[in-house]
């Protein structure tokens, strides 16, 4: 994949998922980040380091990822990472699992001892995939064989899934899908990704009301999403699920869109206005969390007037921006996550200075009115993106390096 594109003001450049026919469907989208001020390549996480995590209803912390042999495993801790049980390899037959950067396995817990694990399986053709899922009815003690969650079976992109149970126990799966781009290309006689065919991909979703045993129809949430950025999910005040993703607006502007799942009759709302014109995908999705006073806290990466940065802002209940947008206090910040607990807001990210990667957090005790910066950890090892978790003991940040898994308290 070509990675010659650069932004001069950018401290760390993540690899692009270009929208042409060679790279727009790749399962190795995450090209090597480059520190433009140091002129050195930043360490890229190995596939085995990209993990998913969730806290079960009983407070136990669970991980899912690939071990050193490339096998899908789970592991749990009853004391939030002080000690861990033995990893357990899951039987997924001959499936392969994508675990690179933002395309990682995930785990989620629902009511009545239900749990699910999802992953993207790359298919035979380059840059294609399908969403697979294992389910448990005993809180993760055992899992079923994997099944494909979407009804469309074309050998195209169905990838970068996000999963969540809503308040009523309905399981939602949301993913990036290219069936409409492929159809438009066939109809117009042009190549996928070219002007005149179909810009970007689409966001599709479906629902399961029996904990992943069966799924309803594939439903299109939006046309023209970016091709390979993670989709952020957050609970709504009504108990549903809201989504935020990088979107392709007119003139190839790569900002972000917002929608509530189940409200497909409403057009997605534009949630950021960086006006970043880019013919490709930066493989750098947003984060979203419910705000105590209504609306949502959001973080995202973008280039605004030549200034590339991770930014923080507040969204109204309908997803429209409210108030000022602020850059994180770190010009090298990348792959930020955001989480809330009451009036507390936590934002965590990693930052590479050419020698080592720092784990940092920006913390607020007053629902985002004021923040303080905290240094959490540092490593010269390869490392994964940090993930924030709501635990019975407060907000924790999970960070996996090549040598260990850090579970650090950042807010009580």
CA–CA distance, 105 with 51 (Å, rounded to integer): 6
Per-residue pLDDT tens listing for the chain (412 residues) = 222 222 323 333 334 443 332 233 333 333 333 333 333 444 444 447 999 999 999 999 999 999 989 999 999 999 999 999 999 999 999 999 999 889 999 999 999 999 999 999 999 988 899 999 999 999 999 999 999 999 999 999 999 999 999 999 999 999 999 999 999 988 877 655 554 578 999 999 999 999 999 999 999 999 999 998 999 999 999 999 999 999 999 988 999 999 999 998 899 999 999 999 998 889 999 999 999 999 999 999 999 999 999 999 999 999 999 999 999 999 999 999 999 999 999 999 999 999 999 999 999 999 999 999 999 999 999 999 999 999 999 999 999 999 999 999 997 6
Q: Which CATH architecture has domain 12-411?
A: 6 Propeller (2.120)
Count how many Cα atoms sit within 13 Å of the Cα of residue 315 in the half-sphere of its side chain: 31
Strand arrangement of the beta sheet that strand 296-304 belongs to: 287-290, 296-304, 307-315, 321-327
Listed in order, strand segments (DSSP E) in 23-177 are: 34-35, 40-41, 52-55, 61-66, 72-77, 88-89, 106-109, 115-122, 129-136, 147-148, 158-165, 171-177
Q: Where are the domains of the chain?
A: 12-411
C-alpha distances out from residue 145 to 60, 93, 94, 171, 269, Å: 23, 8, 11, 18, 38
Quickly list DSSP for 322-364.
Answer: EEEEEE-S-TTEEEEEEEEETTEEEEEEEEE-SS-EEEEEEEE
pTM of the full structure: 0.89
CA–CA distance, 257 with 243 (Å, rounded to integer): 8
Closest CA to 63 of 55, 290, 264, 134: 55
C-alpha distances out from residue 127 to 21, 380, 393, Å: 10, 31, 41
């Amino acid at each position: 994949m070509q990675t010659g594109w650069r932004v001069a003001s950018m401290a760390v450049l993540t690899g692009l998922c270009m929208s042409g026919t060679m790279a727009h469907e790749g399962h190795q989208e995450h090209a090597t980040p480059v520190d433009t001020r140091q002129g050195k390549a930043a360490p890229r996480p190995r596939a085995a380091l990209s993990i998913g995590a969730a806290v079960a209803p009983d407070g136990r912390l669970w991980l899912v990822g690939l071990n050193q042999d490339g096998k899908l495993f789970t592991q749990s801790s009853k004391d939030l990472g002080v000690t861990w049980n033995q990893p357990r390899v899951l039987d997924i037959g001959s499936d392969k699992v994508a675990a690179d950067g933002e395309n990682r396995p995930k785990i989620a817990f629902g009511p009545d001892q239900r749990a699910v694990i999802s992953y993207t399986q790359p298919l035979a053709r380059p840059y294609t995939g399908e969403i697979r899922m294992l389910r448990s009815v005993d809180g993760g003690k055992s899992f079923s064989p994997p099944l494909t969650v979407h009804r469309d079976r074309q050998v195209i992109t169905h990838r970068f899934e996000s999963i969540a149970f809503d308040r009523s126990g309905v399981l939602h799966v949301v993913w990036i899908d290219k069936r409409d781009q492929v159809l438009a290309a066939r109809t117009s006689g042009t190549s996928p990704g070219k002007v005149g065919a179909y810009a970007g991909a689409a966001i599709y979703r479906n629902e399961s009301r029996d904990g992943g045993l069966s799924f309803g129809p594939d439903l299109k949430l939006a046309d023209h999403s970016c091709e390979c950025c993670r989709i952020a999910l957050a609970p709504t005040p009504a108990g549903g699920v809201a989504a935020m993703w990088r979107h392709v607006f007119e003139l190839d502007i790569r900002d972000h869109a917002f929608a509530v799942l189940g409200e497909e009759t409403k057009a997605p709302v534009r949630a950021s206005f960086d006006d970043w014109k880019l013919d490709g995908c930066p493989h750098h999705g947003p984060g979203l969390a419910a705000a105590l006073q209504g609306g949502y806290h959001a973080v995202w990466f973008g280039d605004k007037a030549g200034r590339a940065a991770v930014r923080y802002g507040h969204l109204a209940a309908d997803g429209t921006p409210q108030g000022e947008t602020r850059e994180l206090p770190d010009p090298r910040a990348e792959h930020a996550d955001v989480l809330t607990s009451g009036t507390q807001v936590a934002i965590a990210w990693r930052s590479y200075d050419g020698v080592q990667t720092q784990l940092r957090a920006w913390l607020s005790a007053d629902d985002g009115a004021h923040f303080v910066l905290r240094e959490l950890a540092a490593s010269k090892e390869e490392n994964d993106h940090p993930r924030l978790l709501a635990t019975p003991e407060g907000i924790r940040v999970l960070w996996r390096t090549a040598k260990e898994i850090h579970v650090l308290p950042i807010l009580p």
